Amino acid sequence: MSILSLHDLTVRYRHTVAVDRVDLVVPEGQIVGLVGESGSGKSSIARAVVGLAPVSGGRIALDGRDLPRRGRRRPVQMVFQDPYSSLDPRMTVGDSIAEAIPHRLGRAARRSEVERLLHLVHLDPARAGHRPGQLSGGQRQRVALARALAGRPEVLIADEITSALDVSVQGAILNLVRDMQRELGLSMLFISHNLAVVRYVASRIAVMYQGRIVEEGPTAEVLADPRDDYTRQLLAAVPTGAGGRRPVRSAESGCD
Amino acid sequence: MSATPAAAAEPGRATAWWQNRWVRFAARRLLRLLVSLWVLVTAAFFMVHLVPGDPVRAALGPLAAADVVAARRHALGLDDRLLVQYWHFLRDLCTGQLGDSIGTQLPVGQIIGQRLPATAELALLAFAVAMAIAIPLGAAIAALTRHGRARRTELAFAGSSVVLGAVPDFVLGVLLVFVFAVQLHWLPVAGRDAPSSYVLPVLALAIGPAAILSRIVRVEMLAVLDTDYLRTARAKRLSGLRIHLVHALPNAVTATLTLSGLLLGSLVAGTVLVENVFAWPGLGSSIVGSITNKDFPLVQGTVLVYGIGVLLINTVVDVALAVLDPRSTIGVD
Amino acid sequence: MKNWSRAVRTPLGLTGFGLLALTLFTAVFAPLLWGHQATSFDTDNMLAGASAQHWFGTDNLGRDIFFRVLVATRLSIALAVSATAISVAVGIVLGSAPMLLGRWLGRPIIGLVNTVVAFPGLLLVLFFAVVFGVGAQGAVLAVGFAGAPVFARLCHTLMAGVAGRDFVAAARVSGVGSGRILIRHVLPNIAEPLMVNATIGAGGVLLSFAGLSFLGLGVQSPAYDWGRMMQDGLTGIYVHPLAALAPGAAVIIAGLAFNLSGEAVARSLGVQIDVPWRAAVTPRRRRAPAAGARTGPDTDTDLVLDVRDLRVAFPHGDAEISPVRGVTFQVHRGEAVGIVGESGSGKSLTALAVADLLEFPARVDAERLTFLGADLRDGTGHRHLLGTSLAVVFQDPMTSFNPAHRVGAQLAEAARAHQRATRAQAWQRAVDRLRAVRIPDPRRRARQYPFEFSGGMRQRAMIGMGLMGTPKLIVADEPTTALDVTVQRQVLDMLQEVRAADGVAVILISHDVSVIAEVCDRVLVMYAGRVVEDLPAGELADGARHPYTRALVAAVPDMRSDIDAPLATIPGQPVDPAHVPAGCAYAARCPLADDRCRAQDPPLRTAADRSRVACWHAGEPLPILSDLAALEVDA
Ligand SMILES: Nc1ncnc2c1ncn2[C@@H]1O[C@H](COP(=O)(O)OP(=O)(O)O)[C@@H](O)[C@H]1O
Ligand code: SF4
Ligand SMILES: [Mg+2]
């Protein structure tokens, strides 16, 4: 669909530089994974792109043109981490989704559009009349996805969308993300602190550390042959998963 | 999400003096005090100018001769342009001059000086009594009634504190006078002389706030008792007494202290009413007369003194908080 | 609205709303019914005491005080309500300034509001009374404006709370404008607390008014409200106390009516906020049935912890729920046992029950619950044993230290309490323990407060705290969930080291299978308050036999999972402890479930290799994943 590119992007809050002259490209129809520890600036990038954080320097472009960050039509949409706070508890699921449809539609057209979107995220269209309180975390995150898709975005940003979910539904959401990306050909920036999750969904990976991108490349290459020190540290820290055990380190002098 | 610079995680390195958190805290607090003071002074100044019509005419009454009014206007400097008046007002304030009372012709500073001690005494005593009742009571009730234990005690406490908290201090004053002075003759009806004459006014002022404050202490204590760090303390298998007194109480009191500044402020204001009930010779019994008589210099002066009192109290509370809870110095504005 | 109607049904609400209805009724009808009696002079009966004719006596013009108090209700309430309306309206406008006008205009407005709020209400009232002049109208404006800053701040705080939520950000991102966000998202979400506060505020305003009129600055005769009547009555309190006390009582009753109603609603709102469950000190314990209680003395000297048929129950309405329903396991010296499962499966409750940290109203039952041979079911006799031999590490290092005390002191006090160490010795040991968990410069760090530590350091310090004694068991409940991977690695390594060096047993709870697989020897898989499988950690990947365990492992990608295959999913939702189904609790979500599963609960059977599993179809092949995916709709 479209190429999202960041040139020299800087995001500064009052006392800190959260994003420090970052260059990053999300190529057409691909998922780029962004990893790094908490506070490294991942979410700041996401929020800057969708207009929720100030851009103190640099440029955000979509297909080479400056990205509109105000107004009704937003070609980049975002899904948030916590599905318990990203849906208005007083609005029905259908209303939340309908609100995000940029053009005015008749009542019937709106209904069928909401149904189409719910169907797209594998939810029963009858859920449209429910309130978020009646849904589980996984279901809410599906609604949040449907709302993001309602804007017919060209690029989707997913910010830690599985980390507030229970392990049992994480997998389902990840499957959905991959299916949707394939079906709709979306370009996507997928943010996570979990390397294994990023490895599973993303074709390219960017590693962030203290506001900078320290390494970027095709997922398989970066994971197999990390060039940056921090990337190596990060990889070494990941638990190896069911089946493999690391050797127990022997006690060192400090410990008696 | 923002990148925390390594310095934040690594405190205690050699830093310039202006980076010291105490210095920063003091600077921030001083700035806030100055801004509040400016707001107060400006409000006091404009208060008189916001009065519809001519304040001097209003003060002297419709029967006063026009030239008397004009002369008084001139004497008060009300003929000057507003900014000039403002400037004079500020200048006089800095030299401690508050003007003369229209009613008695005495300097306002002198009148206030005579009456301030009585008010301050009353407010501080009442505050001390309120705290002395509220903190132990609230903490004990919290510890006893947690998790729906001792339902009756909780209900009795909730009921009586709601009722006592809803009784306005002057109604309570009247009630106390009726019971202890009129009916029982134990204590004097009014005035400020023997120690016994302090009892009723102080109680009238203190009981309501004590009821409200003890509820706050209880809620804070309950919240603290439910924190993770209290669970940690229990996991250390400390004695119940130590858990409550050393781990819970300081945190509950810190949270309460934030509110006690507001409370002391409203105690100060409450003196106005209570002084009128007990004919207490403080600022409160004079301000009412000066408002009805439109004695604006005196009103202005009194409002300023009250306001400054409240500001000082808030500053003292903040400093106390900073000492008790080091986190508060790293200031979230 | 649901909350309001629920609030009315509580005793507090019943009293409050009852009084409120009575007050409003009087305000509306008293002047119509008794207006005449209240103003007619009875010149023969001036300043009379209470009598059958005049219940509360008469005033100096011989007017009936009882009726005057009733009639004055209308004016008193009307003034209070209109002043509150002014406060709330002005408050909303000022409070929403930052949202509507943007930061540059909004910030100074809120700054001013915050400055003014510091001044007590009565002072502001006096200020505005000067400006607006003496009299009822002036007083309404004075009280109204004086109350505005409080409401402005309240609105601002509430709005900031809502505006910080992601759903507002989400609306922004989809291009919804500020005004619409304010009306559609923000105001509806703050309406309820605002209304509660306005109701309570009206009570306060009523008192302010009475105060003003009492001072002679409010209502002027011949009009009268309660404050005015008290003022008139005070002079004669010696001869005729009721003249002052009756209107005083009216003020109190009306004030209470507003306060109690607001309070009742606030409480019922509070009930909705789901209070996260916490641990506490002294659990109510019940001995297990006598038959099971007698188990022979232990010959197994390596046994650290022995748990048999552990149950944890909570009162739930009139009934009881049991989030832990019969858990049995043992932990041996130096062994690391992991517990995995979805949230709500009872992992934390099991850990806390074992650590003897559950309190009223939780009820712990067990056939056997011994730690180092001591029976934990018999109450408080084991303080020192637990204090020195059992260490606990909790999930959130940010909140698990007491913010008011220095880190060193928090470590040291355990040694003071249980080892009779002197202050200096205890401190020395604390510094030493901080060094042992690799806190750099421990001498200086010990003197610092928790907020000066980073998250990873705090968690290590927490482990250090457990090492103050000579622990035989460390119970760690999600110790790394709140931490970054690199920090998680340090903490896990630290646990491993302690274990290897001193032969300390570890119970590690985590929802992350790969963490458990890496650290532990053995894994307990919990579902709906039971252990459904107990197996060596090394076999999690290939040797698991329970369908739930297998799904749990396959649902989470690790660094070796096949990126071309879809992940396994577990359809449906975890079991609500209030509605545990008959038969196997997992049946509704299990691809192998059959009629037998739905009817009969599978027992936890021990196999020859001492692993245990509770499933009628343990180890049977699961349908292939793509079929599973079809099941996932609506999960
Ligand atoms: N105080 C309580 N009252 C009622 N139910 C509770 C209470 N505490 C916990 N529960 C319930 O017990 C179940 C298990 O909780 P928990 O042990 O915290 O699970 P886990 O640690 O596996 O996430 C949950 O369903 C929870 O709702
Ligand atoms: S007993 Fe039946 S329903 Fe339960 S886990 Fe085994 S196969 Fe599934
Ligand atoms: Mg848990």
What would the pLDDT profile of B128-164 be if each residue is shown by its tens digit? 899 899 999 999 999 888 887 878 888 888 888 888 8
Task: Please state which of the ranges C249-253, C333-337, C380-384, C548-552 shows the lowest mean pLDDT.
Answer: C380-384
Which residue has better confidence, C324 or B171? C324
Q: Which residues of chain A have pLDDT under 70?
A: 1, 72, 241-256
The lowest-confidence range among C217-226, C290-299, C391-400 is C290-299
Which atom of ligand 1 lies closest to the CA of C478?
Answer: 21
- Are C239 and C97 part of one and the same domain? yes
Pick the residue from chain A with its C-alpha nearest to C173. A50
Q: Above 50 in pLDDT, residue C336?
A: yes
How is residue C5 written in tokens?
A: 């109607």
Number of other CB atoms surrounding residue B104 within 10 Å: 14
Number of domains, chain C = 2
Per-state percent for chain C, helix, strand, coil, to nearest 5 = 55, 10, 35
Q: Which residues of A touch B1 (CB under 8 A)?
A: 18, 38-44
Residue B201 distance to chain A (closest CA, Å): 50
Q: Encode pLDDT of B180-225 as tens digits.
A: 777 777 777 777 777 777 888 898 899 988 888 888 888 889 889 9
- Tell the residue nearest (CA) to atom 17 of ligand 1: C346
**C-alpha distance from C635 to closest chain B C-alpha (Å):** 30
Checking if the pLDDT of C295 tops 60, the result is: no
Last residue of a domain, one of C414, C447, C469: C469
Domains: count for chain B? 1
Domain identity same for C264 and C406: no
Report pLDDT digits (tens) over C22-81: 988 888 888 887 777 777 776 676 666 667 676 677 776 667 778 888 888 888 888 889
Which domain range does residue C456 map to? 396-469
What's the pLDDT at C72? Answer: 85
B3 vs A43: CB contact, 8 Å cut-off? no
Q: Which chains touch C (3 or more CB pairs under 8 A)?
A: A, B
pLDDT at C281 over 50: no
Q: Give the gap in angstroms from C-alpha A156 to the nearest C-alpha of chain B.
A: 19
Residue listed under structure tokens 């018999």: C378
Nearest alpha-carbon partner for C112 in B226, A56, B43, A33: B43
Residue B82 lies in a domain: no
Q: Tell me, what CATH number does B266's domain have? A: 1.10.3720.10
Residues 6 or more apart in contact with residue C41 via CB below 8 angstroms = C61, C62, C63
Is C548:A249 a contact under the CB 8 Å cutoff? no
| Closest residue to atom 10 of ligand 1, CA basis | C323
pLDDT for A92 equals 92
- What's the C534 CA to ligand 1 centre distance in angstroms? 21
Q: Is the pLDDT of residue C627 over 80?
A: no
Q: Is position B148 within any domain?
A: yes
Q: Which residue has the higher pLDDT, A250 or C609?
A: C609
Return mean pLDDT, chain C.
82
Mean pLDDT on B244-259 = 83
Chain C contact for B101 (CB, 8 A cutoff): no
Mean pLDDT to the nearest integer, C511-518: 87
> Which atom from ligand 2 is nearest to the alpha carbon of C591?
8
The closest of C513, C476, C507, C332 to A244, measured between CA atoms, is C513
Q: Does A44 touch chain B (CB under 8 A)?
A: yes
**Predicted confidence band of residue C234 (pLDDT cuts 50, 70, 90):** confident
Cα distance between residue C603 and residue C532, in whole Å: 9
Candidate from C277, C478, C531, C552 with most ligand 1 atoms within 8 A of CB, to mutate? C277
Given a contact cutoff of 8 angstroms between Cβ atoms, the answer to whether A252 and C497 are in contact is yes
Residue-level pLDDT at A242: 58
With a pLDDT cut of 90, the percent of chain C lying above it is 24
Q: Cβ(C593) to ligand 2 under 6 A? A: yes
What gap in Å lies between CA C426 and CA C441, rounded to an integer? 18
| Per-residue tokens: B81 | 């342009």
Count CB atoms within 10 A of the CB of residue C221: 8
Asked whether residue C614 carries a pLDDT value surpassing 90, the answer given is yes
pLDDT band at B328; cut points 50, 70, 90: low
Reduce the DSSP state of residue C620 to 3 states and report it: coil
β-strand pairing of C363-365 with C284-285:
parallel
pLDDT at C291: 37
pLDDT category at B43 given cuts 50, 70, 90 is confident
What is the per-residue DSSP string for C439-488? Answer: -SSHHHHHTS-GGGS-HHHHHHHHHHHHTTS--SEEEEESTTTTS-HHHH
Give the domain-ending residue among C438, C469, C500.
C469
pLDDT of the residue at C296: 43
User: What 3-state class would DSSP assign to B321?
Assistant: helix
Q: What is the mean pLDDT of residues B36-47?
A: 84
Q: Which atom of ligand 1 is nearest to the CA of C352?
A: 17
Dist. CA C583 → ligand 2 center (Å): 9
Give the ligand whose atoms come closest to the C-alpha of residue C347.
Answer: 1
For C519-604, strand residue ranges (E) read 522-527, 530-536
Q: Residue C285 has what pLDDT?
A: 36
pLDDT at C380: 67
Closest CB from C119, C396, C449 relative to B307? C119
Beta-strand relationship, C473-477 and C522-527 = unpaired
Question: Residue B301's domain spans which residues?
Answer: 116-332
**Would you say residue B109 lies in a domain?**
no
pLDDT > 90 fraction of chain B, expressed in percent and rounded? 5
Judge whether C316 lies within some domain: no
Q: Does C271 score more than 70 pLDDT?
A: no
Average pLDDT over residues C519-531: 94
pLDDT digits (tens, 9 = 90+) for A104-141: 788 889 999 999 999 888 888 888 999 888 888 888 99
In this complex, is the C-beta atom of A187 within 8 Å of any C-beta atom belonging to chain B?
no
Q: Which atom of ligand 2 is nearest to the CA of C616?
A: 1
Q: Assign residue C232 the CATH number of its domain.
A: 1.10.3720.10
Which chain A positions have a beta carbon within 8 Å of B332's beta carbon? none
Is A146 an interface residue toward C (CB < 8 Å)? no
pLDDT band at B17 (very low <50, low <70, confident <90, very high): low
Under 8 Å CB pairs connecting chains A and C tally to: 222
The per-residue pLDDT for C625 is 52
Q: C633 falls in which pLDDT band (50, 70, 90)?
A: very low
Could you give the CA distance from residue C402 to residue C270 in angstroms, rounded to a whole number? 26
CA-derived radius of gyration, chain C:
34
Stated as kind and residue range, the H or E segment containing A235 is helix A229-237
Return the structure tokens found at C202: 């009206």
Average pLDDT, chain B: 79
Mean pLDDT within C391-398: 85
Tell me whether residue B29 is in a domain.
no
Residue C283 pLDDT class (50, 70, 90 cuts): very low
Our CA angle for C511, C516, C519, nearest 5°, is 150
pLDDT at residue A213, rounded to an integer: 94
State residue B5's pLDDT score. 38
